[in-house]
Amino acid sequence: MNDRIHLTLDEVHRIATEALGAQGFSERHARAIADTVTVAERDECASHGLFRIPFYVKALLAGNVSPDAEPTFRDLAPAVLQADAHLGFAPLTLQLAADPLERRARELGIAALAIVNAYNVAALWPEVERLAERGLVAFAFTAAFGYVAPAGGTRPLYGTNPMAFAWPRAGRPPLVFDQASSASARGEIQIHLRDGKPLPEGWAIGPDGAPTTDPATALAGAQLPFGGHKGAAIALMVELLAGALVGDVFSFEASEADTARVGAPFGGEFMIAIDPARCVGDGDRDAQLAHAEKLFARILEQDGTRLPSDRRYRARERTPTEGVTIPKSLHDTLRGYIDN
Ligand code: NDP
C-alpha cells in the first residue's frame, strides 16, 4: 500500500476543488465537478473519481472548455426543458436542472431535460439518483466520442453511450443502474493501461479489426458494444436521443470536431423524469412501491444475485468512516496542479 495515499472524503472533495480551481475553473464549476468526483470515490467507482481530474484539467487547458459558463434554461414545451451548458462541463448544469425538472415532472406527470453544449466525462448515476431520492423515476442518456464499432463493423463510430435508470424506494436509497452500451467504459481500459493489466476478452478490437486484450491496442482500435447487436442498438438509440433529438452532435461528430484534442466528449444529454404517483390512480402509491419491492425480493431470493447499485451502497457504508485510497502518482499530479 506504499504507493497509495489514504484520503477522507472531505480531503477528496478539497483536493479536487483546489486542483480544479488552481487550474482555472470557477468556484461553482470546481465545486460541482468535485461533488461528482467525491460521490464516485465514496461509492468506489474509481474510474469516475479523482482519476478524472486530469481529464477535466487537460480539457480546460486545450482551450475550448468554458471554465465559468453559467448554464441557461429555456422551456421548449410544457414538458421539455432545455439547458444550455455553454461549453461548460455538465455537473453544474445537472445540479441546477434538478429542481426545475422535478417541478415539471410533478406538474405534468412526465418531463424531459435536453442538455446541449456540454462537456461530459462523468458517470450518469448521480443525476438519476438525485431525482429518485425525490421520489421520481428517472432516465439519463449521453453520447461520447466515437469509440465503439457498430455490430459487425471494425471502425469506431458510436460513443460508449451510457444510459442510467433510477427507481425510488420507500425508506431506502433508490434502485439505480448506469451502464455503458460498450462492453466496458473507456475509463476502465485507461485504468487497465495505467495498471499494466490485460483487458478481459470481448472488450475491444485493434486497428486491424482483430480482437485484442492489450489496452493500448484497444485504445488505438475500437471498443465493442456489450452483447453484440443488442448493445449496438442501445448505443444507436442513445446517439439519437442525446444527439439528433436535442439538436446536438453524434459521437463521431464530436470526435471529428475535437481538433483541439480536448479529450473530453462534447454534446448533449437527454433525461426523462416521471412522477410515479401520476401513473396510478389516487392512493395507489404505496401499493406501487410495495409491488416493486416484491420483484426485488424475488430477485434476491436467488443465490448469486444482487440489485444494481447495491455494490455502491455497500461501499457508501464504509468510505465515510474508512476513507479511500488513491495511487500516489495521482495524488502527486493533483498536488502539482495546486502547488505549481
Ligand atoms: P458496469 O458494467 O460496472 O455496471 C453497470 C451497472 O450494472 C451498474 O449499475 C452496476 O451496479 C450493475 N451491476 C454490475 N454487476 C451487477 C450484478 N452482478 N448484479 C446486478 N447489477 C450489477 O458499468 P459500465 O462499465 O457499463 O459503466 C461504468 C460507468 O461509466 C457508468 O457510470 C457510466 O455512466 C460511465 N460512462 C460515462 C460516459 C460518459 O461519456 N460520460 C461514457 C461511458 C460510461 P453497481 O454500480 O452497484 O456495481
Instruction: Tell me the CA–centroid distance for residue 185 and ligand 1, in Å.
Output: 8
Active site residue 47: yes
Active site residue 184: no
Return the pLDDT at 280. 87
| Main-chain dihedrals φ then ψ at residue 161, nearest 5 degrees | 35, 75
**Catalytic residue (one of 11, 26, 44, 47):** 47
**pLDDT tier, 185 (very low <50, low <70, confident <90, very high otherwise):** confident
Report how far residue 140's alpha carbon sits from residue 117's, in angstroms, rounded to the nearest whole number.
16
Active site residue 309: no
Atom of ligand 1 minimally distant from the CA of 124: 34
Report how far residue 203's alpha carbon sits from residue 148's, in angstroms, rounded to the nearest whole number.
10
158 Cβ inside 6 Å of ligand 1: no
Residues 6+ apart with CB under 8 A from 2: 328
Atom of ligand 1 minimally distant from the CA of 43: 46
How crowded is residue 302: how many other Cβ atoms within 10 Å of its Cβ?
Answer: 7
Return the pLDDT at 187. 80
Mean pLDDT over the full length of the chain:
95
Report how far residue 280's alpha carbon sits from residue 301's, in angstroms, rounded to the nearest whole number.
28
Task: Flag whether pLDDT at 283 surpasses 70.
Answer: no
**Cell numbers representing residue 251 in the block:** 459521437
Instruction: Tell me the CA–centroid distance for residue 184 and ligand 1, in Å.
Output: 8
Per-residue model confidence as pLDDT tens digits over 165-179: 999 999 999 999 999
**pLDDT tier, 190 (very low <50, low <70, confident <90, very high otherwise):** confident
Q: What is the mean pLDDT of residues 253-282?
A: 90
Instruction: Tell me the CA–centroid distance for residue 309 and ligand 1, in Å.
Output: 9
Task: Flag whether pLDDT at 254 surpasses 70.
Answer: yes
Instruction: Tell me the CA–centroid distance for residue 1 and ligand 1, in Å.
Output: 26
